[in-house]
Chains A and B, each alone.
Chain A
Amino acid sequence: MDDDAIPEAGWIDAELRDELPGLGLRYLLVDRGSGRSPRSVKERLAQMSNRFSGPQAINLRHQPIPWAYRVFYRHIGLDPDDQPTPVEAVALERIKRGGFISQNRLDDALTISIIESGVALRAFDADRAQGRLGIRQTDDGEELEGRPGALPTGTLVIADEARPLALLFGATSAGRGVHPETKRTLLCAVQVEGVSDIAVEEAIWLASEVLRS
């Protein structure tokens, strides 16, 4: 992957574009999987742990990007206090565990980027996705692999050109996420109204930089 690669814009279902303006998907292919985090990444997490504590977590809701995600959660029928937004979920873990604990290179990259930018990021196995990614509503009888039963019609999903890969802000389809054998990763950012393009691009670059370190 080129260091200056620009994240690609995913497609958004036409009806969704009208109904939820500002909703977007950006993704970048990184020629790496996960694995153990290098010492530099662990040190970075430790520094972040010192910088980020209770007061920062409490004030997250005042910041424009975390607020925008909370509002979007409400707009699509989710309760951000019941199912925290990505940045709040990471902040909650920091408070519960006393620090950002290193897990693996990908999770650490996502943690660093989500906390630094506030943008919702996730990753998929690039070799198990077909064509371009986007966001759409499910049709009748569509399923999420690994989950029993069909999804309710109209569920918002991140999908490739063949099937849903994950619920929007929810579970990933079985086998589509990154696993130890993954060679190439798709880093995806979900953009909502109130989150600028530059914030989304920065989030993806930051995660890809850590993933390639």
Chain B
Amino acid sequence: MLEELIQIEAADSEPRAIEALDALLSGRGAEVDTLTGRRVRDDLRRQIALLERRLGELFASAFPRKGFDWTVGAVGGPRVLGIAELERVRDALAVRLRESQAELGRRGEAEEANRGLLESMITAPERHHWIRISNEDVGEPGCRHWHSRPRWGILGMLMGWWRVKLSSGCPLPEGLRPPE
């Protein structure tokens, strides 16, 4: 449906270009301005739609990671926006998309490194003393964490008996119960 919408919008802009040319040839300059302005606004709206779709995809990919800023800011409405305002919205969306992609990329690299560390920690806990890795560190939902610690406390520390303990998960939910 998204593609359909975009195709429909693209198809709509063609007759307007022909109308504008007809108007220009018949000396109706003001009408040309109107048609051109509308065509530019349509193009900007189409670009905003595409950027919004990409931002939505990124939003879903970023879940459950926290700390992203998805807001773009309102230019003030509800009203019909002019070209400059639509450009502002488009540019703000493009900047937000680029920043979010970069942030997601940075976090992805850190999470990949943490996954590698977790694997080596599980394989050889005696070489990773007291390291604690949470689900959040590897980009997973939930509250689980892996902790490298000695078996039997200080005795295990002295003897080098290290192991990785896996936590039991999130605390039990609290708050309002769903309706009966």
Q: Which residues of A are at the interface with B, using a C-beta cutoff of 8 A? A: 15-16, 18-21, 42, 45-46, 49-50, 58-59, 61-62, 64, 67-68, 70-71, 74-79, 81-83, 97-102, 137, 152, 154-156, 167-170, 193-194
Contacts and interface: CB of A to CB of B under 8 A. Distances in A.
Contact of A67 (B2, B38, B71, B77): B2
Interface of B: 1-2, 5, 9, 12, 38, 41, 45, 48-49, 52-53, 56-57, 59-60, 63, 70-81, 85-86, 89, 93, 175-180
Quick one: which of B41, B63, B78, B175 has the most chain A CB within 10 A?
B78
Contacts of B177: 98-99
Given A19-B38, A74-B48, A79-B73, A156 B78 contact: yes
B137 to A, nearest CB: 21
A77 B76 CA distance: 5
19 contacts: A58-B59, A61-B56, A62-B56, A74-B89, A74-B93, A75-B48, A75-B81, A76-B81, A77-B76, A77-B81, A78-B74, A79-B72, A82-B73, A102-B179, A137-B80, A154-B79, A156-B79, A194-B1, A194-B5
Contacts of B1: 64, 194
B87 to A, nearest CB: 12
B5 A152 contact: no
B52 A70 contact: yes
A82 B73 CA distance: 7
Given A49-B179, A67-B2, A77 B60 contact: no
Contacts of B75: 77
Contact of B180 (A46, A59, A194): A46
Quick one: which of B2, B5, B38, B79 has the most chain A CB within 10 A?
B79
A77 B45 CA distance: 11
Contacts of A99: 176-179
Contact of B63 (A15, A58, A154): A58
A83 B70 CA distance: 13
A163 to B, nearest CB: 17
Quick one: which of A49, A61, A75, A170 has the most chain B CB within 10 A?
A75
Contacts of B179: 42, 45-46, 49, 99-102
B80 A71 contact: no
Contacts of B56: 61-62, 67, 70
B155 to A, nearest CB: 44
A149 B160 CA distance: 75
A193 B78 contact: no
A76 B79 contact: yes
Nearest to B52: A71
Quick one: which of B41, B93, B176, B178 has the most chain A CB within 10 A?
B178
A75 B45 contact: yes
A156 B79 CA distance: 5
A100 B180 CA distance: 10
Nearest to B12: A21
A78 B78 contact: yes
